[in-house]
Amino acid sequence: MLRLGEKISAAEITPEAVYLERRRFMLGGAALALSALSGLGHAGCEHGNIPASSEPLTDIDAATHHNNYYEFSTDKKSVSRLAKDFNPRPWTVAVSGEVRKPKTYDIDELTRLVHPEERIYRLRCVEGWSMVVPWLGIPLCEVLRRADPTGKAKFVEFVSIKKPESMPGQRYASLSWPYTEGLRIDEAMHPLTMLVFGMYGKPLPNQNGAPLRLVVPWKYGFKSIKAIAQIRLVENQPLTSWSRSAPREYGFYANVNPAVAHPRWSQRRETRLGELSKRDTLPFNGYAEQVAPLYQGMDLVANF
Ligand SMILES: Nc1nc2c(c(=O)[nH]1)N[C@H]1C(S)=C(S)[C@@H](COP(=O)(O)O)O[C@H]1N2
Ligand SMILES: [Mo]
C-alpha cells in the first residue's frame, strides 16, 4: 500500500485545481512502489507545525527544465539534457564525523528509513526565480538522530558526488568540486529540513538532484545541495562551495531575505517559473513563523 505523508491524504480545504493536482500526484506516486514501508515509524523527530501550502504548483515541465546544477552546466536550460544519462545507482551516503554511530547507507535503504512524506514547499533561487514543488522525502532529522551526534556536532557538512566522467561541468573550475554545503545543527534538525528523493510523486529526476538532495525551503536554493554522497557532523562551520567562490555574494546562512540585496541585484522580488509578473519575496521565503526563532538575537544583515 502506498503511504504518503498526512499533507497529501488529509481532507484539506484547497482550491479545486490544487486538489486535483494532488490526486494526480498520488496516482503518479504509486509508480514509486513504496510498498514494504508499513511498520516504520517516526520515533524521536518532532514533526509539528509543517505548513500546508494552497499555492498552485509549478508546472512539472518548468521545474525540471530550468535547473541550477553546475556539475552539468552553468546554462539552466541545458542541465536536463546533459544529466539525462547520469546513473544515480549504485549509490551510498556516508554519515560520519562527530557521531557515535557512523553509517554508510545504500540509497535504497536510506529512502526506506521512515515513511516518506510529500510536502509542498517553495524554493527560491538567489538569482530571482522560484517554484512550488511537491517534494517527496524524509526529515533530515531522522537520519541525524540515528547517527547519535556527540556534543561536538555543531554543524553538518554535506558533500556531493565528484564524477567528472559523467558530470561534464566538473571539467571546469566554475566551482570547487565536489560541491559542498552546510547547515548549523539546529537548522539541520529542524522539522522543515528534508532529504528529498522524489518530486511530483515520482523519483527525483537527475537534473533536480537524483538520487538524494536537500531541500531547506527558507534558504536560497544553493543551500539545497544535490547528489549527496556524504553527510558529516562537524565542530566548526564548514566552508561551502559558493562562499568559497564568492564570499561577498553567498553567505553561510543564506536565509531568504528581501531586505538584504545580493551585491549585484535586489532580492525584493521574484519570478515564479512559468509566470510572467513578479511577486514580492517573503522573509524566510514565507516560513518565518516556523524558523525565525532559530535566529533570535542574530544580525541577519551581517550573517547573510
Ligand atoms: N550539487 C549541486 N547542488 C545544487 C546546485 C549545484 O550546482 N550543484 N545548485 C543549487 C542552486 S543555486 C539551486 S537554485 C538549486 C536548484 O534546484 P532545482 O534545479 O531543483 O531547481 O540547486 C542547488 N543545489
Ligand atoms: Mo540558485
Q: Answer yes or no: is 83 within a domain.
A: yes
Q: Could you tell me if residue 33 is inside a domain?
A: yes
Answer yes or no: is pLDDT of 21 > 60: no
The answer to the question of residue 291 being in a domain is yes
Q: What is the pLDDT of residues 134-191, one digit of tens each?
A: 999 999 999 999 999 999 999 999 999 999 999 999 999 999 999 999 999 999 999 9
Residues 6+ apart with CB under 8 A from 287: 51, 192, 217, 218
With 70 as the cut, is the pLDDT of residue 12 above it?
Answer: no
Is residue 3 included in any domain, yes or no?
Answer: no
High-pLDDT (> 90) share of the chain, %: 82
The structural domain count of the chain equals 1
* 203 preceded by a cis bond (ω within 30 of 0): no
Choose one of 57, 61, 66, 68 to mutate for the ligand 1 pocket test, by most ligand atoms within 8 angstroms of C-beta. 68
Cα separation values, 268 from 76, 261, 284, Å = 22, 8, 12
State the distance from the centre of ligand 1 to the C-alpha of 204, rounded, in angstroms: 13
> Is 228 within the bounds of a domain?
yes
Residue 231 and residue 94 in contact, taking contact as beta carbons nearer than 8 Å: yes
Answer yes or no: is 183 within a domain: yes
Contact in structure between 187 and 216 (CB atoms under 8 Å): yes
pLDDT for the residue 48: 67
Q: Is the CB of 69 under 6 A from ligand 1?
A: yes
Query: Residue 63's domain spans which residues?
Result: 10-295
Ligand 1 touching residue 67 (CB < 6 A): yes
Residue 73 beta carbon below 6 angstroms from any ligand 1 atom: no
Is residue 5 in some structural domain?
no
CATH number at residue 26: 3.90.420.10
Residue 119 confidence (pLDDT): 97
Question: Is residue 226 in a domain?
Answer: yes
- Per-residue pLDDT tens for 43-91? 467 776 788 888 999 999 999 999 999 999 999 999 999 999 999 999 9
CA 31 to chain centre: 22
